[in-house]
Structure 1
């Protein structure tokens, strides 16, 4: 009798005593300490390790590269639907658990399998495909110039709150069709949800309310934005599906882009291979972008997959309904696949955007935003350098993301505020109030509110 693809029968005595679990949460764990924990878990348990992701909430952390590819791509053995999660079904997850905003079921592509996933992904992919890359680059540059101009005369700034956090807010809000004030409230609520505290559930409800108001507006007054595209797509998404797909895109897209921008700038400023020639060396900004996705992926761990049956996976006895966390950062560092000396520059086979049918559909616009943001500030502040020793830079305590808590820099003064037209739109050298050739005026009506919250 033929067996399903990838099937391995449970070993004798399957379902015995579960190995002791390690806490994958708490203020002592941040982007600096997590890599050592991954290697400790790998050395003790192999490619799949038992963890707890909240008090009393057990899961498996997938550390191995090959194992992660299988968990992410094999929908026969691993589901994306958290309603299959045995711990939740059995009532063992408190309603105020900080993990629920991440893994509670939503009618969104991240929580769907098969045809339902393909239907929603088609709508999301088509909406993202409508983004004009040249227009997006100009929008990012215009907002970046205004933000830089707001602190360029101060001789120094913390680039995290003044630049990396504000720029994606301005751009992604515009892509969604969201005005500045509700956009700012949305980002604040997402930050509270991302802290994985008791306030996470309340923040999640605030996020829903903001997005529902946006959907109501775009239902009757559609525009050239992602929200309108989803509402009016032939896939006929319900308003609830639009809400939760927007939420997934915004939560993942905004915070990941913030961390990607800040960490890339940190690498360019602090890594000797880049710092030795910040503007004309052999290692480029694209090399730095890729290095970050390998070594410091903005999403460290991605919840979740759920076993469809009992199986032996990565040397562990996984029970039907068990939760598996995709350890993107750990899998990137898997010594079984990592070449000696680490990833080569220009190598984009990392897992920072996930893998399989649920690979992030927004990675191209995310890269365009991040690359343009990095290019803009390096152009205008070419002598920028860290204001503290690299060892003093700290990471956010979170099991899910890897982001800096601050990025203080110092500099002498800016270059003129008009970046040469790398997209072919112009070569002007404006002074910060003129447009130059092919550039929009800083503070123009098209970028109202570009100074950020």
Structure 2
């Protein structure tokens, strides 16, 4: 019998190579994870195993990592062979994953679109998509810009900053607080809980509980006093989501969205700071900020690996014998590196958006338009306000957050000498303590309504 390793590398069930020798799985967790080393790891896995590789995501917890572009497309589109419901996971059904495992807050079943198939998924997906469509693109961009300028002003006097904790991490939180309809103090507690859950450590389960408690209270308040926010839009949608469904779909939308946007902002800024040729091309208009954003999505997708699909039957897939109930992870970063879809020199084509950073198929990320707008505005604003921004340490000293799922910088220290601060921002455009106003706009308006700082909206 072949399949992903369930306990130790040489336990029964570990996959075999063509010579019949058991293959040791590769750990995707632990202190040795390093963002810069991950591309080489994916290539080693590809050479050793092909497009589907055996890995472990926690001690004794095996899975298949899908790093082939073609195979990942099939995985995301074929609900008949690959279900989203983790209750099909054989290790979980057999009691071989402890309830307090740090991966369970991410892997465990929730009544949300990410964990549903077929009609149930379509019902929740419609509610989520239409709630996001209510976000006013003009207002969102103005809000992001105002919050970005306020944050820049908070450290401009020092002529130095760490752009991860002081900018990239704070900005999406402020915006998401407004989109949810939360007040600032509660929103900060929610952000702390989200961060604690994503890192997959011993406190992840407690962090998940704290997050759920905050969102439960928010939903109760919005049932009584609805507003112009995404939470209220979900509650009033004709799909009639229950409070529990609203809570867990908010988790899917904004937990994933918050950390992804943090990583997308910080990694894009890193490229602009560390690639002089790219920065020069951007400055003279040969390239755009969107080109930089897409380069990040190809080379350093904010989410490296994404859970999960579960085989509904025994099948041969990517050269491996996958068994019913096996877990398969979406190796987004690895699939983007697949030589089958890249130019011969390995460099993604500028303007090419066939990457898989947002997934694919019916479960592709529904919030990629607002995420792009937030990230683009964040990057563009800091470029204009800190025009001589430069890295304060050698690039080799930058460190990464240790996570099997997320690729993000732990720090991005910078210095500058000539901040170009705007006049004091109007209070009605800030999101500190005030819900962000949402208004009806056509689907996709979020991405059409952008313009650089200073241009009319």
TM-score of the aligned structures, taking structure 1 as reference length: 0.89
Alignment partner, residue 252 of structure 2: 248
In 1, the alpha carbon distance for the partners of 2:284 and 2:163 equals 22
- Matched residue SS, 1:302: strand
In 1, the alpha carbon distance for the partners of 2:411 and 2:351 equals 27
Alignment partner, residue 447 of structure 1: 431
In 2, the alpha carbon distance for the partners of 1:382 and 1:73 equals 44
User: In angstroms, what is the RMSD of aligned CA positions?
Assistant: 1.5
Does 1:46 pair with 2:50? yes
Alignment partner, residue 38 of structure 2: 34
Alignment partner, residue 394 of structure 1: 399
Alignment partner, residue 317 of structure 2: 313
In 2, the alpha carbon distance for the partners of 1:145 and 1:103 equals 37
4+ runs deviating over 6 angstroms: none
Contact 2:33 2:402 in 1 (8 A): yes
- Matched residue SS, 1:306: strand
Does 1:211 pair with 2:209? no
Does 1:415 pair with 2:399? no
- Residue 276 of structure 1: how far off its partner (Å): 3.0
Alignment of 1:269-288 (within 5 A): 269-277=273-281, 279-288=283-292
In 2, the alpha carbon distance for the partners of 1:345 and 1:277 equals 12
Alignment of 1:59-70 (within 5 A): 59-70=63-74
Moved more, 207-216 or 146-155: 146-155
Alignment partner, residue 170 of structure 1: 174
- Matched residue SS, 2:55: strand
Moved more, 145-154 or 352-361: 145-154
Cα deviations by residue, 1:270-302 (Å, 9 ceiling, x for unpaired): 113223355224122111100000000000000
Moved more, 24-33 or 207-216: 24-33
- Residue 442 of structure 1: how far off its partner (Å): 4.1
Contact 1:82 1:103 in 2 (8 A): yes
Q: How many residues align?
A: 416
Cα deviations by residue, 1:31-50 (Å, 9 ceiling, x for unpaired): 11221111111100000011
- Residue 112 of structure 2, aligned match among 97, 108, 117: 108
- Residue 227 of structure 2, aligned match among 223, 231, 237: 223
Q: Where do 5+ consecutive residues of structure 1 fail to align? A: 1-9, 418-431, 434-440
Contact 1:27 1:398 in 2 (8 A): no
Cα deviations by residue, 1:168-217 (Å, 9 ceiling, x for unpaired): 01101101111111110111111111111111111111110000000000
In 2, the alpha carbon distance for the partners of 1:47 and 1:264 equals 28
In 2, the alpha carbon distance for the partners of 1:241 and 1:42 equals 38
Cα deviations by residue, 1:70-116 (Å, 9 ceiling, x for unpaired): 01110010000000000000000011111111110000000000000
- Matched residue SS, 2:396: helix
Does 1:365 pair with 2:349? no
Q: Where do 5+ consecutive residues of structure 2 fail to align? A: 4-11, 16-22, 435-457
Moved more, 297-306 or 176-185: 176-185
Contact 2:401 2:410 in 1 (8 A): yes
Cα deviations by residue, 1:313-372 (Å, 9 ceiling, x for unpaired): 000000000000000000000012211221111111100000111000000000001001
- Residue 17 of structure 1: how far off its partner (Å): 5.3
- Residue 443 of structure 1: how far off its partner (Å): 4.2
- Matched residue SS, 1:92: coil
TM-score of the aligned structures, taking structure 2 as reference length: 0.89
Cα deviations by residue, 1:200-254 (Å, 9 ceiling, x for unpaired): 1111111100000000000010000000011110000000000000011111110
- Matched residue SS, 2:36: coil
In 2, the alpha carbon distance for the partners of 1:445 and 1:58 equals 48
- Residue 445 of structure 1: how far off its partner (Å): 7.3
Summarize the Cα distance change of 1:282–1:212 in structure 2 as closer, same or farther, 3 Å threshold. Answer: same
Alignment partner, residue 438 of structure 2: none
- Residue 413 of structure 1: how far off its partner (Å): 2.3
- Residue 410 of structure 1: how far off its partner (Å): 0.8
- Matched residue SS, 1:20: coil
Alignment partner, residue 195 of structure 1: 199
Alignment partner, residue 140 of structure 2: 136
Contact 1:146 1:442 in 2 (8 A): no
In 2, the alpha carbon distance for the partners of 1:85 and 1:39 equals 27
- Residue 20 of structure 1: how far off its partner (Å): 2.5
Alignment partner, residue 424 of structure 1: none
Does 1:348 pair with 2:353? yes
Does 1:91 pair with 2:95? yes
- Matched residue SS, 2:357: coil
